Structure 1
Amino acid sequence: MAIRYSVIIPTYNRVQQLLLTLASFETQTYPKHLFEVIVADDGSTDGTKEMVEGFKASYPLIYVSHPEQRGRSAVRNLGLRRAKGLYIIFCDADFLVLPDFIRIVSRYHRKYPKSVLSGIPHSWDDAFTHYHPDFSPEEKEHCRRILTQSGLWNSDFEAANEIIPIITTEDILHHTGALSKVVSPTRVPPNIKKQFATTDVAPWLLLITRCVSIRRSQLIRIDGFNERFVLYGLEDWDLGYRLHRLRVPFYSIKEVVGYHQEHPTYLRGNVLNTENLKIMFETYGFNDSSLNLLALVPPSADLEVYKSTLRVLHRGFRSKLTRSSALLLRRTLRLAAKQFFYQKNNPAYQKSLNLIKRKAANRKSRVAHVLREMLLKSEKLVE
């Protein structure tokens, strides 16, 4: 039978975590001849190639690589070119999947065959599978607290110079129960999780490549990831935005399907890279308020304000009483995005903001209130 799911795992110098992730695919309850795993290596120098090629997988396992690092977009596209499945699952090298992972994804795709399925926000929990000597002091304390509760903490960890495994492949393969002892519930507030799961505005924010499944034909239609995104940040939301423009629906998987293997925060990079946001404005222009708003309210910093602003804007256009305020809000977001992009000390920008401010001064609607908030943020772009 043909491969139905191609799991693409991009990686760069994550050999210890990747080993456990590959082991977790050994435990899948979904038929192993119906999925393949493609490790797309972005020039690792830590023995990733030797580990993957020596891994005795019971499922089809493919290794592809760049000779040197080219970035997350390019390496995911490298894996995509080798994929044969009807659906592509992007899965991070540090995402430890549970046994029913692909079976659950398959069940959702039977119900939503042409949709993007995201493991976010219900699979945001962390697992301390390794102790990293370069954890920050706060991360070390968090790790110590979680491991102490389960009796796995060893004071010798604090003197370690190398990464120490807490969970082994044997624990994964034989379901020893050790994994459940190192899980740390996500510190993402419930209201933020709820906002991610709702898709009434900016549903493309659900496309987070820690765990997401997409029809391969849809990815091919939009030419995969934009390889202009080399630095960390926004390459996944850019892909989601382009799929959204094709009217592809987005759904959140409600079950927990895996755990993120905790590692030092600095490895994640800058969540909202300003140069990458400029690429988005250069690519799509300034006609979409959901993009323009990124210049003032990054969702990674305040998702509630980001989404509530869009909702207020949309509702404002539905009423004659608030339509003029909605138009002013839309104009403000457009002006701010252009200022963010061009970063010029243009007196006309402040003059335009002052004009909008005067028009909004005595209005009492919710739209006008949000408008004044966005005007204040817009003024800070020239400070």
Structure 2
Amino acid sequence: MAIRYSIIIATYNRAHQLPLTLAAFEAQTYPKHLFEVIVADDGSTDGTKELVEAYRASYSLTYVTQTEQRGRSAIRNLGLQYAKGSYVIFCDADFLALPEFIRTVRQYHRKNPRAVVSGFPHSFDGSYTHYYPDFSPEEKEHCHAVLTASNSWRPELEAANEIIPLVTPADIIHHTDALSRVVFPSKMPPGVIKQFASTDVAPWMVFVTRCVSVRRSLLNRVGGFNERYVLYGLEDWDLGYRLHCLKVPFYCIKEIVGYHQEHPTHFRGDVLNTENLRIMLETYGFNDSALNLFCVVPPSADLETYKNTLRILRRGFRSRTTRSSARLLKRTLRIAAKQFLLQSDAEAYKKSLAKIQRRAAGRKSRVARVLRDMVQRSEKLVE
């Protein structure tokens, strides 16, 4: 029978976490002959190649790599070239899938075969599968609290100068209680989780490669990941945005289907770097307020304001009494994005905003109030 799901795991120097990630697919309740795992290595230097090639999987396991590090987009595209499944599931190398993971994804795809099915944001609970001596003081304190609560803290961890495993691949395969003793709820505030899970505006934000699934034919249709993105951030949202432009629906898996293997934050890099935002604006221009708004209200800083602004803008265009203010709000976001990208004359930019502010003065609608707030925020781009 043909492969149904291709799981692509992009990795770079995650040799400590990857064995657990691979072991988690040994424990899947979904038939092993119906899925494959492709480890796409972005030039690791920590023995990842030897680790994967020596791994004896009970499922189809393929290792692919490139001669030099080219970034998250390029390595995922390489993995995509080897995929045989009707659907592709992207997983991070530090994502520890629970046994029902693939089966749950399949249930969502059976109801919504053309949709993007995402484990984000409900599968952002964490697990301390390893103790890292280079955890920050805050990370060490949190790890200590989690392990102490389950009577798993060991005094020798305090003086450790090397990475110490707290969960083994055998624990995952044989379903011991080791994992349950090191998991903890997501640090993401409930309000942020609710906003991410609400796909009424900017639904493409749930396309997060920690765990997301989509038809392979749709990925090929939009050309895969944009390889201009080399640094961390936005490369997955960019792909999600292009799928959204094809009218592909987005669904969040409500069940927890896996855990993040905690590691020092510095492994990740900047959550939203300005260079990648510039690439996004250069690629799509300034016609979409959802993208322009990134420059004024970064979602990573204030997701509620970001999404509510888009909701208010949309409602503003629906009413004749607020349409003028909605047009001004859209224009404000557009000229702010242009200023962010092009760095044009600051005085001319300020004059444009002042003119909009004068036109918005005295208007009492909610759209007008948001407009005035966005003008003030936009002024900070040249402060």
Query: TM-score higher than 0.5 here?
Result: yes
Deviation digits for residues 239-268 of structure 1, max 9, x if unmatched?
000000000000000110000000011111
Higher deviation after alignment, 188-197 or 283-292: 188-197
Alignment partner of 2:220: what SS?
helix
**Which residue identity lines up with residue 17 of structure 1 in the other structure?**
Q
Aligned to 2:47: 47
Deviation digits for residues 133-186 of structure 1, max 9, x if unmatched?
110000000000000111111121121111100001111011111111101111
Aligned to 1:299: 299
1:60-71 pair list within 5 angstroms = 60-71=60-71
C-alpha distance in 2, partners of 1:184/1:298?
27
Q: Which runs of 5+ in 2 are unaligned?
A: none
| 1:260 counterpart = 2:238 | no
Aligned to 1:365: 365
Alignment partner of 1:62: what SS?
strand
**Which residue identity lines up with residue 254 of structure 1 in the other structure?**
K
| 1:311 counterpart = 2:311 | yes
Q: CA deviation at 1:346?
A: 3.0
Aligned to 2:211: 211
Q: CA deviation at 1:382?
A: 0.2
Cα pair 1:6 1:83 within 8 Å, conserved:
yes
C-alpha distance in 1, partners of 2:126/2:51?
24
Aligned to 2:191: 191
C-alpha distance in 1, partners of 2:193/2:364?
31
Aligned to 1:179: 179
Alignment partner of 2:120: what SS?
coil
Q: CA deviation at 1:345?
A: 3.5
C-alpha distance in 2, partners of 1:267/1:375?
36
| 1:147 counterpart = 2:134 | no
Aligned to 2:29: 29
Q: CA deviation at 1:273?
A: 1.3
Alignment partner of 1:21: what SS?
helix
Alignment partner of 1:103: what SS?
helix
Cα pair 1:345 1:382 within 8 Å, conserved:
no
C-alpha distance in 2, partners of 1:148/1:18?
25
1:223-242 pair list within 5 angstroms = 223-242=223-242
Aligned to 1:336: 336
C-alpha distance in 2, partners of 1:193/1:246?
25
C-alpha distance in 2, partners of 1:232/1:188?
19
Aligned to 1:133: 133
**Which residue identity lines up with residue 296 of structure 1 in the other structure?**
V
Give the root-mean-square deviation of aligned CA atoms.
0.7
C-alpha distance in 1, partners of 2:344/2:146?
49
C-alpha distance in 2, partners of 1:20/1:94?
8
Q: CA deviation at 1:348?
A: 1.4
Aligned to 1:89: 89
Alignment partner of 2:226: what SS?
coil
Aligned to 2:283: 283
C-alpha distance in 2, partners of 1:272/1:377?
18
**Which residue identity lines up with residue 155 of structure 2 in the other structure?**
S
Aligned to 2:124: 124
Cα pair 1:10 1:39 within 8 Å, conserved:
yes
Aligned to 2:8: 8
C-alpha distance in 2, partners of 1:373/1:54?
58
C-alpha distance in 2, partners of 1:102/1:202?
26
Alignment partner of 1:220: what SS?
helix
Aligned to 2:168: 168
Alignment partner of 2:214: what SS?
strand
C-alpha distance in 1, partners of 2:350/2:254?
45
Aligned to 1:80: 80
Q: CA deviation at 1:344?
A: 3.0
**Which residue identity lines up with residue 94 of structure 1 in the other structure?**
D
**Which residue identity lines up with residue 112 of structure 2 in the other structure?**
Y
Q: Which runs of 5+ in 1 are unaligned?
A: none
Alignment partner of 1:15: what SS?
coil
Deviation digits for residues 313-338 of structure 1, max 9, x if unmatched?
00001111111100100000001000
Alignment partner of 2:259: what SS?
strand
Q: CA deviation at 1:68?
A: 1.6
TM-score normalised per structure 2: 0.99
TM-score normalised per structure 1: 0.99
Q: CA deviation at 1:200?
A: 0.7
Aligned to 2:157: 157
C-alpha distance in 2, partners of 1:203/1:279?
20
C-alpha distance in 2, partners of 1:206/1:84?
24
Runs of 4 or more, structure 1, over 4 Å off, are none
**Which residue identity lines up with residue 142 of structure 1 in the other structure?**
H
Q: CA deviation at 1:48?
A: 0.5
